[in-house]
Amino acid sequence: MIEDKNPQRTPLSELGEFKLIEHLTDHFKITQKSTIKGIGDDAAVLNFGKKQVVVSTDLLIEGVHFDLSYAPLKHLGYKAMVVNLSDIYAMNAMATQVTVSIAVSNRFPLEALEELYAGITTAAKIYNVDVVGGDTTSSTSGLIISVTAIGEVEKGNEVLRSGAKPNDLLVVTGDVGGAYMGLQVLEREKEVFKVNPHNQPDLSMYTYIIERQLKPEARKDIVALLKELDVKPTSMIDVSDGISSEVIHLCKHSKVGVDLYENKLPLDPQVITTCEEFNLDSTTIALNGGEDYELLMTISQEDFPKIKGNPNLTVIGYMTEEDRGMHLVTRADQKIPIIAKGWNALNQQE
Amino acid sequence: MIEDKNPQRTPLSELGEFKLIEHLTDHFKITQKSTIKGIGDDAAVLNFGKKQVVVSTDLLIEGVHFDLSYAPLKHLGYKAMVVNLSDIYAMNAMATQVTVSIAVSNRFPLEALEELYAGITTAAKIYNVDVVGGDTTSSTSGLIISVTAIGEVEKGNEVLRSGAKPNDLLVVTGDVGGAYMGLQVLEREKEVFKVNPHNQPDLSMYTYIIERQLKPEARKDIVALLKELDVKPTSMIDVSDGISSEVIHLCKHSKVGVDLYENKLPLDPQVITTCEEFNLDSTTIALNGGEDYELLMTISQEDFPKIKGNPNLTVIGYMTEEDRGMHLVTRADQKIPIIAKGWNALNQQE
């Protein structure tokens, strides 16, 4: 009935995720005194007194964000929390509370939900956050999880996507590409399982990357480390959609360009060997494979001595003037433009 | 695969919604200094400085909470906001920000989402809240909307469900049962439409109750009114599931009983005539029909002169000692126990 009334139809696929969000939300006006930063960063910054409050929210849908045939519910509950907390840490804030809402169809027994909540509880304990609210309802089809995280940060210590300056260093935490390759292994095993359900696969050589996919961690430790090192990044974002996507966000919000060095990308040996096995280019995976939940930040060159040699932080490039554009500098010293991959583009192409 | 690993199965229907939430969340411990009140009320209370921050969240699922064959998307966006803001006002707080996440399948054209956001924008404007975050993602089936609202309240002014005392007056705002009867009319018209799509129904005699269902309002005005009247309720809750359900929440959280008077229930004439037309008992509808988003509160007897005669507030009973139980006092002066209706119980029975 509704669709009949709308003669004009623009398929969502035409816009892609980022354009869609922008299109739908860029007209929201800020009117509250207490709203310091609204839509457009990892989390909102609110001011209710001495501290800034940060809020972030995510929606996870069965069949879109997870596949219950290989994601144990406990890990899924854990991951749903981590995905959100990661956004809070990406503001240089400490997460303090979350609300968790779930919708389930009646094909789920109580025990399944208990498993899910066990994962949520474990994450709440490990990351030291209180679960302070939520909604539980029925669903007509699959499982839906919605998490909103709230955090606090000293006034002026919040790090947005918009503060990068030319000559700042581009720094990433940990290593990248693992979660995506873990997913490739799990997808392959699912296909094998369909053919031979009694096959017990030996996944011991993939433990790290499978864990990166099923039970990722958010980099709370980095917020503490940066404080300890007395480094305030000029901009920061978490790596949920892949470095390419995230560095483009930093560049666009900060109005700068970037030179990113292929040979600096931190890769775990398991990512390299699995890429070889799947005949995939590890640089493509490192740049476009999402869900690593590492932090990507820019820091002032004068802070370099403070982070030099730290095993958690890798300098992978530097920011340039905006008109220089966004480039990957290959091992062969060629410059290739960095392109945004859209909504699930990676899954469709490879 | 997961269900095979769980030999023990307890159907969710065995517990009902409230028991389920309690079962899954009652083990969450509060560890953050800033968490004043976690799960168990309409919203969480957080303390970040001079003011208390309140947070509330809701998940709306197509086919469960709304039917797009008669709910225009603009009204739906509006209602999704109202449902959540209502929880903030039920804390005696003022809503200040919201985050809105949506998941949609590709059967929705862009224009449909624009309609949805138009409703969200209108509500944000009318209720004076900032939309400060959200997530937009794809869905495998229908439309899913998740809203988290944040509000502020002076320290000590927050009203929980747990403060009612024996002899306090039970007060409800506006009138009740309208949203449920509006739904009955819409459901009937949907059936007529299936048989004869060219029939143009005359709904002019149902405008009030249809609006109560499709475009309800949250009682922000009541929070202001209570302040103006210098009345701080001893407990408060919003009427989303029906007065029966909500008064039971107040009684259980406050450890009191209640005598609720049938002849005091505020009903709009349209509710009474439509109940007659549908051959439904208007008291049953007033008590169990949900989605009115009025506020149900208890106030101290000494505050009665302040509210007496106010057209927005109706005294419908008084609280008693817990061991007196929870009763409806009928027009025939009989006492009937008030019983909780479970998860969609009303829809299944009538």
Contacts of B27 in chain A (CB under 8 A): 121
Q: Are A308 and A258 in contact (CB under 8 A)?
A: no
The residues of chain A that CATH labels 3.90.650.10 are 169-349
Quote the pLDDT of residue B39. Answer: 60
Q: Is residue B45 very low, low, confident or very high in pLDDT (cuts 50, 70, 90)? A: low
- Residue in chain A nearest B141 by alpha carbon: A141
Alpha carbons A83 and A78: distance in angstroms, whole number: 9
pLDDT single digits (tens) B308-317: 999 999 999 9
For residue B114, which residues of chain A lie inside 8 Å, CB to CB?
24
pLDDT one digit per residue (tens) for chain A, 350 residues: 334 444 466 666 665 555 555 665 655 566 666 666 556 565 566 666 777 888 888 899 998 889 888 888 999 999 999 999 999 999 999 898 888 888 888 778 777 888 898 899 899 889 988 888 777 788 887 899 999 999 888 888 889 899 999 999 999 999 999 999 999 999 998 888 888 887 777 888 999 999 999 999 999 999 999 999 999 999 999 999 899 999 999 999 999 999 999 999 999 999 999 999 999 999 999 999 999 999 999 999 999 999 999 999 999 999 999 999 999 999 999 999 998 664 343 333 32
Please check if B135 is assigned to a binding site.
Answer: yes
Is the sign of the CA dihedral A41, A121, B46, B81 positive or negative? Answer: positive
Domain boundaries B15-154, corresponding CATH code: 3.30.1330.10
Q: Which residue matches tokens 């596949």?
A: A67
Averaged pLDDT of chain B: 85
Residues of chain B with CATH 3.30.1330.10: 15-154
Q: Tens digits of per-residue pLDDT, B247-267?
A: 999 999 999 999 999 999 999
Give the per-residue pLDDT at B100.
87
Location of structure tokens 């864990």 = A211
Give me Rg for the CA atoms of chain B: 21
Taking the C-alpha atoms of residue B109 and residue B105, their distance in angstroms, rounded to an integer, is: 9
Collapsing DSSP to helix, strand or coil, B70 comes out as coil
Grouping H, G, I as helix, E, B as strand and the rest as coil, residue A92 is: coil
3-class secondary structure, B147 = strand
Annotated binding residues of A, written as ranges, equal 42, 56-58, 65, 87, 117, 134-135, 161, 238, 240-241, 291, 343
| More confident site: B147 or A11 | B147
Determine whether the interchain pair A44/B132 forms a contact, defined as Cβ–Cβ distance below 8 Å.
yes
Chain B: nearest CA to A278, how far in angstroms? 26
Instruction: Give the pLDDT confidence score for residue A22 in this predicted structure.
Output: 62
Q: A48, B49: Cβ pair inside 8 Å? A: yes
Q: Which of B10, B20, B59 to mutate to test the interface with A (most CBs of A within 10 A)?
A: B59
Strand-pairing partners, residue A151, are A54, A95
Contact B110 A141 (CB under 8 A): no
Is there a contact between B99 and A65 if contact means CB atoms under 8 Å apart?
A: no
- Distance separating the N- and C-terminal Cα atoms of chain B: 37
**The predicted structure's pLDDT at residue A344:** 40
For tokens 């603009």, the residue is: B74
Per the DSSP assignment, residues forming a β-bridge with B47 are: B52
Q: What is the pLDDT of residue A1?
A: 36
Contacts of A99 in chain B (CB under 8 A): 44, 55-57, 148
CB contact under 8 A, A73 and B28: no
Check residue B167 and give its pLDDT. Answer: 98
**What are the residues whose beta carbons fall under 8 Å from the beta carbon of B279, sequence distance 6 or more?**
none
pLDDT of residue B33: 61
Contacts with B13 from chain A: Cβ below 8 Å: 106
The answer to whether the CB atoms of A97 and B35 lie below 8 A apart is yes
Domain A12-154 has CATH 3.40.190.10: no
Confidence of residue B123 (pLDDT cuts 50, 70, 90): very high
Residue B5 reports pLDDT greater than 50: no
B72 contacts B115 by C-beta, under 8 angstroms: yes
B263 near B312, Cβ under 8 Å? Answer: no
DSSP string across A170-207? EEEES--SHHHHHHHHHHHHHHHHHH-TT-----GGGH
Say how many Å lie between the first and final Cα of chain A, rounded: 38
Paired tokens of A147:
């998490």
**In chain A, which residues fall in CATH 3.30.1330.10?**
12-154
Q: Give whole-number Cα distances, A70 to A66, A67, A271, in Å.
A: 9, 6, 20
CATH class of B169-349: alpha beta
Contacts B44 to A, Cβ<8 Å: 97, 99, 132-133
| CA-based nearest distance A205→chain B, Å | 23
pLDDT at A209: 96
Report CA-CA distances (Å) from B170 to A219, B75, B220, B325: 49, 31, 19, 15
Chain B: residue whose CA lies nearest to A12: B110
β-pairing, B326-329 vs B335-337, is antiparallel
Alpha-carbon Rg of chain A, whole angstroms? 21
Distances (CA, A) of B230 to B81, B233, B250: 28, 10, 22
